[in-house]
Amino acid sequence: MTNNKSFQAVVAGTGSYLPEKILTNQDLEKTLNTSDAWITERTGIHERRIASEEESASVMAAKAGKQALEEGGLSPENLDLIIVATSSPDVLFPSTACFVQNELHAFGAAAYDISAVCSGFIFGLSIAEQYLKTGRYENILLIGSEVNSRIVDWSDRATCILFGDGAGAMLLKRVEQEKPLGILSTHIYSDGSLSDLICVPGGIGKTGINKEDIDNKKYFIKMSGNATFKVAVKRMTDVIREALEFNGLSMEEVGILVPHQANQRIIRAVAERLEYPMEKVFMNIHKYGNTSGASIPIGVDEARRTGSIKPKQTSVLAAVGAGLTWGSAVIKW
């Protein structure tokens, strides 16, 4: 399909879903050699949400997606595409997005998953942006949903304290307009040479699921914390600067920065390098921990509902995740 029209990809609605169960640092003190003070000092996390037995990535994704559709005033049957960013899918296949499609009865849409872990939602935005700006599709539902609690080793205090469950969604719509609006640009990168920094090393296609890997807990998240910290700060800072330069913007023109909620120290270090005031940086890591691919959309939805994101404001989203992957996006509201 080719056309000479100028299309923009705008955010028509957002939504989020957090499980009811709260796991506090004090709860973790009962089973781990750790403390609330130790966790708070190193991560900024006080508590996180944990999915119930009835909740999966698709269940939470559908609930967040329904909110976004309701706010955008769109019926599910009018969706053209559903993209779910997740690294904790319901099953290996079919895709989590197909389960969401079935739950929403959005049978006129294509549906598929993408896997870029904590950067997944930004990668999804880059895909949706192209479909909408080229005029190929009109309505896209993009969701990040994670049940990290199912893939962490609850005896490993280096990782289990970090992660939580949840889902966030964004309804993106094509509009015909010359003036830049909505997603102004996306910038995504990967470096497979750093794949061992954050990973779930247990094999499926390579070695097959095997008892030795299960016994060695290789089907849980493993992370090199210090090395990841250094790389994450640099990559996120660089990709934010690239996004600003691409759009001819300065940090002073950014109304709010919504970073991936991985670690409070990472977020503060990025803001310091950018010389950006912390009071304009959105953070909810203290309540939810690291929700991986759901982190950005949960943050955007909460920021919008609390008034931290305002109409006509420009915001920057940025994330770093396993792969290594990283990316940024600039949105004019």
Largest alpha-carbon pair distance within the chain?
63
Residue that is written with structure tokens 């006509």 in the block: 312
What's the alpha-carbon Rg for the chain, to the nearest Å?
A: 19
Residues 315/331, Cβ–Cβ less than 8 Å:
yes
Catalytic one among 25, 139, 263, 290? 290
Give catalytic status of residue 102 as yes or no. Answer: no
Omega prior to 94 cis, within 30 of 0: yes
Instruction: Specify the amino acid at residue 102.
Output: N
Residue 78 annotated among the catalytic residues of the structure: no
Reading the block at residue 254, the tokens are 């950014």
| Nearest partner of 182 among 69, 15, 63, 14, judged by Cα | 14
Given 98, 118, 187, 263, which residue is catalytic? 118
Q: How far apart are CA 330 and CA 267, in angstroms?
A: 17
To the query of whether residue 98 is one of the catalytic residues in this protein, the response is: no
- Of 25, 187, 260, 263, the active-site residue reads 260
Catalytic residues: 118, 260, 290
